[in-house]
Structure 1
Amino acid sequence: MFFVYIEMANAAVISLVRSLEQLVQRKPHLISDETRRMVDSVHDSLECFQDFLESTSKRRQKHCRKVEELEREIRMEVEKAEDVIELKIMYGIMKKKGLSKTFLRTLVGKIDATRERKAIRKTLLPFVKKIDAVKSNVMGISFGTNQVQGYDDSTTNEDLLPGHSSRNIAKLNPENIVVGLEDDLVRIIRRLKGPTLSREIIPILGMGGIGKTTLARKAFDDFETRNRFDIHIWVTVSQEYRIRGMLLDILRSTSDETNEESNIDRLMDMIYKKLKGWRYLVVMDDIWSSEVWDLMTRTFPDDNNGSRIILTSRQEEVAIHADPDSNPHKMNLLNSDNSWKLIRDRVFGVEHACPPELEDIGEQIAQRCQGLPLALLVVAGHLSKISRTRESWNDVSKSVSKVVADESDICLGVLAMSYNYLPDHLKPCFLYMGVFPEDSVVNIVRLINLWISEGFISDELVGRDCMEDLVSRNLVMVRNRSFDGEAKTCGVHDLIRDLILREAEKEKFLEVTRIHEATNPSAEKLRSTRRYCFHSHNQAAFWKLSSIIRTLHFFDGFQKLSKQVPLLVSFKLLRVLAILNDTFPTFPLEITKLVQLRYLQFTCYDNIHWSVSKLYNLQTFILGYGVAGLLPPTIPEGIWQMRNLRHLHIGDFFSFPIPSNKLQNLQELSRLALSSCTCELFSAIPNLKKLKIIGNYLMEMKRERLNSLSCLEKLEILKYRDDGIQPSQIPSKYVLPASLKRLTLSCTSLPWEDMANIITLPNLEVLKIKDNGFLGDVWMLNDEENFKQLKFLLISWTGLKHWKAGSVNFPKLQRLFLKRCMNLEEIPQDFGDICTLESIELHKCSISAATSGKNIQEEQESIGNECLSVLIYNHP
């Protein structure tokens, strides 16, 4: 619980800092000298709070009631202050727009408009005093030792480093079961027996409960492995560990003589001398921090005699720190067959068969554990205790998550260790994964935009770093990557999701109405909840939500539209609103009154209303379009007043109004009509990085429109699809932005000769040609035509027959992907000479093209190049 208080308070502090900045920026004329002094005072207090939160988080102490109370107090007072500030900002906006006094009083209470300065000062004053009082309490806390003042913990010693012990959950480790680990074990043993004489570090990485310790133990106990080494040492580290205890354990395994009174330096010296000159095998199991490695590595000499050290960890950064050149062994979840085998062997024994009537239902149960050995063992233990009938097992199949939840103290405890060890800034980002329904494949760009809208992070680059950190800690799984390894979509294991929802609900970070959930949260919970998600039709809680709520997600439509839409106005501080799987018949004007919105997503049959320009805080706007065949939506001129807008996605192609301002922050624009592509428009959105264009315009105008793209000097990603019926007649010369890194052309029907306009792009790394993006049966390249930076080339659904090219034309190509190239006679044979080429993939291409791919691979293998893989799928 202590850690939850920390990250919730830290997120609240960061959010309030941004609200204060917004107050000063939006209403400087209303900030008197006295008010500014109060704002500065709050800023100072927030810096103090952040230092305090960072210090307490690093120490990670348990059962510290005094600190928990302070964390709670910080969060509560900071959130109250933020509510008041945002209400004041909204009040000023509403008054400026000339709304009625009745509405204003309903929104923020009775405030004399002529005395707004005094009102702001008067309203802030009590919160400033409360925050100052909390600051005084924080300043009274001492961190001079490992103890927090007022925290009596007799277990604190000089050699105790912070964390949570994993020894209490060791009983769930599948020590005697290696189902699905056979290949992993072979690879680890091969590395242990390898010819390398220098001391080698072998990290084994994976999420909690995946079997890292089991794999390390099997390798450690392997008969041939033990005979190779003179000394064998196993030390369990865990989050909470005593340096002296670990050193004494190591010393006892190397000698019968130990000196219990020796200090740490003396113990390290004794171990070093015992190991010196001998070939040893050390397993450091469950290591969490780089600090413990830095301490312990001093005791392990490198005598160039083939010694080995195995590390098991959930943290990739630990492995990289221990040896930047090491190749970590990353464990994967079990497949369906091995999952069922693990359960079957555990329930019936290796030598006994499963009754035929239980086979299919047993496989279903195993599949719902999603390949995590920890969950499989918990479920297997439950199956061992119940009757072996189809009815009983069918009940388990329907409630696998409940079976696992019944072991939450042990099962989720294993995973909670990873969560507790997260830095404060990552915890809100991680808990936010609970927003999405079970088994969701989450678009990472959208997720990062949501993090920004919530105030957790400042920009996309920081968001990418946070995502990579969560992945490296084995808490979030990447579902799909781009050719260069960048994560595109992600998700979490169901057990991880259960942990997220438990922790999020405990601290009122997030409430979720789940699918098939019968009960609703209590009125008390609803009053204090700041984020709510509806995954089902059960939306009864919507009518009871607090007016201070910041986030609303509807994943199964917005029930009772006519009654519920007007209620949205009461959520005056709403920052995120996403309504999926439902369509508004007309543009919902009530939404335009939610001026604190940062993120807005819904679907509508109607045009965008001009009043959307009131959403001056909006950063991400995703508008789905109802039914094909209706007129596409139009963008009102007020869009140019939305200066904070970063991402605009429209479900159908749309026209942009003539510029009346500049949108300096706009970075992404999706499904813009080619007819709107003018230098005038692009000069008004100079920082655009991603653009998707839909062409359906007069053929003679296309060259002019494409030439205008050169005005976008920061454009990196361009997707152009032409929905016109006739083939394009674009003249052979047009200019694209030199900054382009990724280009996708679909249905554009360009002649292959026009590729000359693309070859000249100096930074192009990805080129995708889809659905007759180019027409003609011959593509010929001379030696002077070089894609200097191209790494990925995709060609699909094309009539290309003869392709004349060589390695000189694609000097840095890494992947070639061909799909539905039914007429292509062969892949240029010189492609085998591209030293960077890693793979060629063919999907349903001609037999001759597939044969040429195999020939390229065989030729390369004959000269010792085994790095090139040729993959052929379903070719005729």
Structure 2
Amino acid sequence: MVESIVTVVLEVAKCLGPPTERQLSYVRNYGSNFENLKTELEKLKDDGASMQHGVDEAKRKGEEIEKNVEKWLASVNNIITEAEKFTGDADKANKRCFMGLCPNLKTRHQLSKEAVRQFEAIVKLREAGRFDRISYRKALEDIRLISNKDYEAFESRISTLNNALRALQDPDVNMVGIYGMGGIGKTTLAKEVAIQFKRDQLFDQVIFVEVPQIPDIRKIQGEIADKLGLIFFEETESGRARSLYNRLKDEKKILVILDNVWESVDLQDVGIPHGDNHKGCKILMTARSEDILSGKMDCRHNFSVGVLREDEAWSLFKKMAGEYINSSEFKWVATDVANECAGLPVSIVTVARALRNKRLFEWKDALGQLRRPSSTNFKDIQPAAYSAIELSYNKLEGEELKKIFLLIGYTYISSINDVLMYGMGLGLFQGINRMEEARARVYTLVYKLKASCMLLEHGSKNEHWFSMHDVVRDVAIAIATREQNVLTMRYELVNSREWLDEGALKFYTSIVLHDSKMNVLLPEVLECPQLQLLSLWTEKSSLITLPDNFFRKLTQVRVLDLTYMHLSLLPSSLGLLTNLRTLCLYCSELQDIAVIGELKNLEILCLRGSYIEQLPVEIGQLTQLRSLDLRDCDRLQVIPPNVLSNLSHLEELYIRSFNKWEVEVEAAGVKNASLEELKRLPNLTTLELCIPDVNTLPKGLFFEKLERYRICIGRWCWEDTPPTCSRTFRLLLGTDNCISFKSGHIVQLQRIEDLCLSRLPDQDIIELVNNKLGSYSSQLKHLWVEGCQAPSPKESKV
């Protein structure tokens, strides 16, 4: 009856004019207007989800999202929330109108008109969501140029700094050099030049590049391109040089710093314009000799960095050793020790730190050691610097700390994880069998080395990373070569004669070839009966073949690191390494790795970043395995059932990108593992896991004994957690992820430090605030809640 009345009224309204007819049509088309709104709303949700997937993918690649895309997604979320609330309220209002028997025409008119408005807004928003691109590659900021805490404004250095600054601002000067002996502070001074120019915005771009000892054109090109956000599409060095040249010419004023130049670097081959080609491109170089700058690089404006004056050296020495050395008992010997450091900052810092809070007889003993000539005539290090660093090494407490220092030095590793993998494999941590205990020991040892100034803080201020001064590393390698028969080469062209000497091979305990051009045919069998560590890091573009019997006689090897390898098939002789404890195949192209299953004593297996599509069933035979790292294995599609659950000794499991978890592992035709298998790992204490589909998540998966974890539920993109956090949980809900706090997934995780919650229903927010947060957040450091509808003040007890 109501519809008939409305129809009659509309016929009359036509005679009254379009405005009146339009208003009454809202009443007649009430149902269709709402259906149109709901249909368009679903389309908008699909568009928003698709765009969010693209955004997540871009973030995983480290790209920046366009501002208009972010604003569009925010508008989508807002209008979806508004439309869903409106349609829900409209349904309730319709039911209240005489139980739906006699619709309220005024209410119908208002609701229908609003439905049309929202429909049109959604159509307009969907049209606006057609972007040419959603992200862009941002030029990377050099963390080394954010701050320069190592810089001391000594008067003797101020003139060198000011001279370099003035020369680089001279329009007629395009190349400036800073030179001085190893450990004198050239790099620190060059960084200060860069920081001052960045602060005063005198250059549009400042780029800092560490030059390999033997210049590697592609590596230098890559370093500069990274800082510029430039992606090369050329394969040849000359093609990349042209691309880089054109990009640098786009910068009106740019400073390129080439740090630690040892040999001639052809700037044209690299693609760096200079001189009349681009007067806005200035170049600052550091080197250990003026001959390198003026003779090999034709740099005519060079400034030396000399040793510190006696008063400056004493000031720095006191700062590092402590004011107690001013006492009458210590001052005479401390003064003599400081003088023996010959004004070299690296010597002063390492020696003073090594003797901090030591007793008088130890100071006297140190003075005697420094006054004795160095037993090694090291070509590139002043004898005083060598003696000072060797003294600091001798003063390290305990053989364990000394071995870790040398290991870091000759292997070039720079992270806690690498020290842990190598150290556990070599058995360097006495009395420790569990990974979590070993990790704590590594943090302690690295902290002690930093406190002794034998290691440096990483620029990111993340305690997981560290670095080593090049002079300190040179000394570490010299000591390791002498005491441990270590062979190490980096950034060098390696040929057979250099390292395949039969007389030397039988004595080597470690062989490390990093970032080297392997211009060598490897022997069919490598005979190194005492070898315990073999680390081969090829260039990313290098192709190297490992003969099938290559490992046959390496019976004592405990650590094997093959990085950036292209291996379709691992050599069968790998299975003969019965003493192998650590195997790292980082970022390698791998196909068949089934032979790994024969390594019955293997404890640590790292396949991080490797191109592997299927984890072989044979991995399940590694019953002694303690750590399995499958992070960033983006091509991994298959983890067979019951492989993970067989690893009964597993303590650490890292899986990020795998998203093929099965719901029921016993079902017919299942080819992948289920998360249920993780419940059968009684020793698991560390877990990194991403679970895109909540439906694969079994109850009771997360147990209280986890010491460290990064767990993401829902389609999150992996981001770096705060450096201070070791326990992170992220929960992303959506229409297809129906899970709440009441299911108990979060409560089982203890001592959460970094908690991220997205799109929670309002009732769960109330539950979180009122009841749950305190039960698992006693150590909470970061809380992030987004896209959730917060409760009203009346609903919350807080």
Give the TM bin, normalised by the shorter chain.
Answer: 0.3 to 0.5
Larger Rg: 2
TM-score (norm 2): 0.46
